[in-house]
C-alpha cells in the first residue's frame, strides 16, 4: 500500500473478549506448561503470567510492578486460545502491504496476507471508542517485524483499543509500539517502548524495554471481562495470585479445577427481613420451653439480628452467646444466666447479636 491516509474505517470493528487473560500485561500461554518469560534490564507495569512453573519467569535487572503468576490457571490459557481463535475468524476490511510508514488509519480491520515488516510512523486517528484490529498472516503463515517503528494515537484514540493478531512470531526492535499483540509464536521486544499487552502462545522475551500494560480487566470497550480480584475461584476465571497462601492445593484455579460461585455484589435480590422488638418484649422458646423467657429486649444493650440467623445459630449457655463469645453489653452488664441451650425461636422475632467490638 502506498503512503497516504485512509479517511474512512476499513470495517466496523468489534474485538473479541480476552476473558481472564485480559488481566496480564505479559502472558506466555504455551501449551503443556511450557510458558517462559525472560525480562532483562526492562520494566513492566502490570501482571506477568506464564503457563510454566515459577522458575519460568526469569528477571535480570527487571522491575515488575504487578503480580508474577506462574503457573497461571488452565482457564487463563483456555481464554487466551479462545480469544486468539476469535480474532483469526474476524473478516478483513482492508488488505495492507508495505511498511506503513507515513500512513494514517481510521478504526477498522486491516490485514496482511503474509508477513509484515514495518518501519517509520503509523498514525491511528479516531474517537475514544474506536477499535483497530490488525491481522498479520491471514493466509496461514506470517510474522510481524518492526524496526524503528512507531505507532502514534491521534484524535481521541486509545492505545488499549488496538489489537494485533499475528499468525506466527512478533519481533519489535527499537520501536515505540502501541497495542496488544496476540502472537501464535514467540514475542521478542528489544529496547524501545511497548504500550499494551504482550500475549503469546510461546515465550515472551524483553530486553532493555519499557512495557506498560493495559489496566486489569481492559476497560477498553471491546467486551473483555472484568476480573473481580475479591474472588479467587469465581466464574471470571481470575487468578487471585496469593489467594492460596502459598499452597496451590488450596485454590482450584491454579489446579485447573472447576471454579465455584462466589456470589455477586448486590446480593441475590432477596431483601432481608428484620423485626425489631419493642422495649420490654420477651423472646420466648417454643415447644416445651415456650413458657421460659430467653431474653428481654433493652435498647441500651441489644440490637436486631435476623430471625433466620437466630434460628440457625443461637445457642445460649449461661453468660455466653452464639459462637461461645462472652456476651458483653456496652455498659458491661451481662444478661441473667439461662440453662436453655440450642433453643428454637418463634419465626419473625429477633434476638440480640454480639456487640461489634467482640472478635
Percent of the chain at pLDDT > 70 equals: 57
Query: Span 61-89, mean pLDDT?
Result: 98
Whole-number Å distance between alpha carbons of 204 and 57: 10
Distances (CA, A) of 83 to 15, 28, 70, 77, 323: 9, 14, 20, 10, 48
CA angle 193-198-200, nearest 5°? 145
pLDDT at 10: 57
Phi, psi (deg, nearest 5) at residue 90: -70, 130
pLDDT of residue 343: 36
**Residue 84 DSSP code:** H
Q: Terminal CA-to-CA distance of the chain, rounded, Å?
A: 70
Q: Read off the pLDDT of residues 28-55 as tens digits, 9 standing for 90 and up.
A: 999 999 999 999 999 999 999 999 999 9
Task: Give 113's pLDDT tier (boundaries 50, 70, 90).
Answer: very high
Mean predicted confidence (pLDDT) in 123-141? 97
Q: Which of 296, 305, 320, 315 is nearest to 352 (CA)?
A: 305
Which residues is 151 bridged to in the sheet? 122
What is the predicted pLDDT for the residue at 12? 60
Helix or strand (DSSP H, E) at 110:
strand 108-112
Cα–Cα nearest to 272, from 309, 234, 326, 298? 309
Condensed to tens digits (0 to 9), the pLDDT of residues 161-176 reads 999 999 999 999 999 9
pLDDT band at 111 (very low <50, low <70, confident <90, very high): very high
Question: How much is the average pLDDT of 185-194?
Answer: 98
Q: How many CA atoms lie within 13 A of 23 on its CB side?
A: 25
Which residues are CB-contacts of 216 (< 8 A; sequence separation ≥ 6)?
Answer: 22, 23, 46, 47, 227, 229
197 or 248: which carries more pLDDT confidence? 197
Note the pLDDT tens digit of each residue in 280-300: 444 444 444 444 444 444 444
Among 9-23, 113-127, 344-358, the range scoring the smallest mean pLDDT is 344-358
**pLDDT tens sequence across 296-344:** 444 444 444 444 443 344 333 333 334 443 433 344 444 443 333 333 3
State how far the Cα of 121 lies from the Cα of 175, in Å rounded to an integer.
10
Question: Under a CB-based contact definition with an 8 Å cutoff, are residues 118 and 95 in contact?
Answer: no
Q: What is the pLDDT of residue 13?
A: 73
Residue pLDDT, tens place only, 219-278: 443 433 334 444 343 333 444 444 443 444 444 444 444 344 444 344 444 443 434 444
How far, rounded to the nearest angstrom, does the alpha carbon of residue 59 sit from its chain's CA centroid?
Answer: 24
- State the average pLDDT for the chain: 73
Q: How far is residue 18's CA from residue 30's CA, in Å, rounded to a whole number?
A: 16
Amino acid at each position: 500500500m502506498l503512503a497516504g491516509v485512509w479517511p474512512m474505517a476499513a470495517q466496523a470493528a468489534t474485538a473479541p473478549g480476552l476473558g481472564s487473560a485480559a488481566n496480564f500485561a505479559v502472558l506466555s500461554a504455551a501449551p503443556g506448561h511450557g510458558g517462559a518469560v525472560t525480562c532483562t534490564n526492562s520494566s513492566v507495569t502490570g501482571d506477568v503470567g506464564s503457563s510454566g512453573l515459577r522458575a519460568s519467569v526469569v528477571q535480570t535487572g527487571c522491575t515488575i510492578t504487578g503480580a508474577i503468576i506462574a503457573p497461571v490457571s488452565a482457564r487463563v490459557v483456555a481464554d487466551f486460545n479462545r480469544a486468539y481463535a476469535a480474532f483469526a475468524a474476524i473478516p478483513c476490511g482492508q488488505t495492507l502491504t508495505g511498511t506503513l510508514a507515513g500512513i494514517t488509519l481510521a478504526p477498522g480491520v486491516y490485514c496482511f496476507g503474509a508477513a509484515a515488516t514495518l518501519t517509520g510512523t503509523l498514525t491511528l486517528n479516531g474517537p475514544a471508542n474506536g477499535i483497530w484490529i490488525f491481522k498479520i498472516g491471514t493466509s496461514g503463515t506470517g510474522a510481524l517485524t518492526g524496526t524503528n517503528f512507531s505507532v502514534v494515537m491521534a484524535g481521541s484514540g486509545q492505545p488499549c483499543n488496538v489489537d494485533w493478531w499475528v499468525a506466527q512470531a512478533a519481533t519489535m526492535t527499537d520501536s515505540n509500539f502501541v497495542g496488544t499483540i496476540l502472537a501464535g509464536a514467540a514475542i521478542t521486544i528489544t529496547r524501545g517502548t511497548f504500550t499494551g499487552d504482550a500475549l503469546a502462545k510461546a515465550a515472551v522475551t524483553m530486553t532493555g524495554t519499557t512495557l506498560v500494560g493495559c489496566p486489569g480487566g481492559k476497560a477498553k470497550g471491546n467486551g473483555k471481562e472484568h476480573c473481580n480480584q475479591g474472588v479467587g475461584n469465581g466464574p471470571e476465571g481470575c487468578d487471585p495470585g496469593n489467594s492460596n497462601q502459598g499452597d496451590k492445593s488450596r485454590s482450584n484455579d491454579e489446579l485447573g479445577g472447576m471454579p465455584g460461585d462466589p456470589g455477586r455484589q448486590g446480593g441475590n435480590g432477596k431483601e432481608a427481613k428484620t423485626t425489631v422488638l419493642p422495649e420490654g418484649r420477651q423472646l420466648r422458646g417454643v415447644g416445651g420451653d415456650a413458657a421460659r423467657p430467653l431474653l428481654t429486649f433493652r435498647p441500651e444493650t441489644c440490637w436486631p439480628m435476623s430471625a433466620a440467623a437466630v434460628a440457625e445459630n443461637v445457642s445460649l449457655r449461661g453468660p455466653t452467646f452464639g459462637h461461645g463469645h462472652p456476651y458483653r453489653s456496652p455498659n458491661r452488664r451481662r444478661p441473667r444466666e439461662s440453662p436453655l441451650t440450642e433453643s428454637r425461636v418463634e419465626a419473625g422475632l429477633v434476638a440480640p447479636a454480639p456487640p461489634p467490638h467482640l472478635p
